[in-house]
């Protein structure tokens, strides 16, 4: 079955932004046309109505949505998660798992290994090899030093593990980073009290990125260069939560100027309470208060993940930094796709037809996943 999306403006931040359309067949982009007058005959003709035709957004760091918690598989529906994510233009996501005991994590990995849901791209293990000094909302009793044999067991159980966050200063962290990299896992650095030199050493060992830059890590102090300093000095990709809460807008702008758009990956780092009404909920074993655009731990008052829609992150990025729409789009599509080696995130022949159609105000109007309209 062939689908033609026409009467739109092609925009992916990689190629020239211009009027045109797409021809889709077998879930992939078959051809791209800039001829707005002569359209091929297709089974489905989808009018973009002059709006932007963009790659679908990819959220590589989210803990759930609408009350569905990736760590709580008893109540989880990945299909419902995928439906809710599509409403904000997200055509693919990684399920970020917070720390659990070794046995509980094995149960989670066994469950996910059996899941085949469109839009579910795999698992991001946020720990358990994290620094207790930078635990954030992680369960401290589940944090531990790197254990390669334990990690090997995780990889034996699950082929769905796509990334892992690790604190590079912990004992044997470099060995685990090298092993994970060699086995196709994108190793990310975070929840760390390490130094800039730890980051650079981890980069040499194969690490590919920084988890939610600025949050739960040592900072850019002029006499004590930490993980943030290392992020600037390195060539690693940097996740950024652009909700105006996790990172001040001025710091977002400074980051954009310091490291450039090419190294930024926009994420939500959403907690499972996202899209729920104001109230009190449970996340990572803690009572979380959700009010408007913020979630905090009831007992401590610290931030407990975001309630950010990824399409709103695009708007915020443009507002804070003055960058173009296409630049922000690439940060949430082409950049994460390139980091993970997925043939997605671009309007290019042969790439997966995960498509979002949005207007000038970043409102999502239509979404296609593998060429099939789902929103």
Residues with catalytic function: 269
338 labelled as ligand-binding?
Answer: no
* Calpha distance 21→8 (Å, rounded): 6
25 labelled as ligand-binding?
Answer: no
215 labelled as ligand-binding?
Answer: yes
Whether 284 contacts 96, CB under 8 Å: no
212 labelled as ligand-binding?
Answer: yes
SS3 letters for 286-338?
EEEEEECCEEEECCCCCECCECCCHHHHHHHHHHHHCCCHHHHHHHCCHHHHH
222 labelled as ligand-binding?
Answer: no
Stretch (H or E) spanning 252: helix 249-259
178 labelled as ligand-binding?
Answer: no
223 labelled as ligand-binding?
Answer: yes
Task: Tell me the longest C-alpha to C-alpha distance in the chain.
Answer: 65
Residue 190 tokens, joined: 């975070």
Whether 221 contacts 283, CB under 8 Å: no
137 labelled as ligand-binding?
Answer: yes
303 labelled as ligand-binding?
Answer: yes
Contacts from 75-83 at CB under 8 Å and sequence distance 24+?
78/115, 78/117, 78/120, 79/117, 81/119, 81/120, 82/117, 82/118, 82/119, 82/120, 82/369, 83/374
Binding residue ranges for Zn(2+): 126, 191, 212
Binding residue ranges for substrate: 137, 215-216, 223, 246, 303-305
Binding residue ranges: 126, 137, 191, 212, 215-216, 223, 246, 303-305
């Amino acid at each position: 079955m062939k689908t033609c999306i026409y009467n739109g403006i092609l925009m992916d931040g990689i190629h020239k932004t211009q009027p045109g359309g797409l021809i889709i067949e077998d879930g992939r982009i078959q051809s791209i046309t800039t001829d707005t007058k002569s359209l091929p005959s297709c089974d489905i003709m989808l009018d973009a109505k002059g709006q932007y035709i963009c790659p679908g957004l990819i959220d590589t760091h989210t803990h759930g949505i609408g009350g569905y918690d990736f760590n709580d598989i008893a109540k989880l529906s990945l299909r419902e998660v995928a439906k809710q994510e599509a409403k904000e233009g997200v055509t693919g996501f990684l399920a970020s798992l917070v720390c659990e005991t070794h046995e509980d994590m094995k149960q989670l990995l066994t469950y996910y290994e059996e899941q085949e849901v469109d839009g579910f791209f795999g698992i991001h293990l946020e720990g358990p090899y994290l620094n207790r000094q930078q635990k954030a909302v992680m369960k401290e009793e589940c944090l531990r030093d790197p254990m390669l044999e334990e990690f090997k067991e995780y990889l034996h159980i699950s082929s769905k593990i796509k990334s892992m966050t690790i604190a590079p200063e912990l004992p044997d962290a470099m060995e685990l980073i090298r092993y994970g990299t060699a086995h196709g896992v994108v190793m990310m650095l975070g929840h760390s009290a390490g130094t800039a030199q730890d980051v650079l050493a981890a980069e040499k060992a194969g690490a590919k990125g920084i988890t939610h830059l600025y949050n739960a890590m040592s900072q850019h102090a002029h006499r004590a260069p930490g993980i943030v300093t290392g992020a600037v000095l390195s060539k690693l990709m940097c996740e950024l939560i652009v909700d105006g809460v996790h990172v001040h807008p001025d710091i977002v702008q400074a980051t954009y100027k310091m490291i450039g758009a090419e190294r930024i990956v926009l994420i939500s780092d959403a907690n499972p309470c996202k899209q729920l009404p104001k109230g009190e909920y449970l996340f990572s074993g803690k009572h979380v208060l959700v009010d408007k655009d913020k979630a905090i731990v009831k007992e401590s008052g610290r931030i407990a993940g975001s309630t950010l829609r990824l399409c709103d992150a695009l708007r915020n990025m443009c507002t804070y930094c003055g960058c173009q729409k296409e630049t922000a789009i690439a940060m949430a599509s082409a950049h994460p796709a390139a980091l993970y080696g997925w043939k997605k995130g671009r309007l290019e022949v042969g790439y997966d037809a995960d498509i979002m159609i949005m207007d000038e105000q970043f409102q999502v109007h239509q979404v296609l996943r593998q060429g099939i309209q789902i929103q």
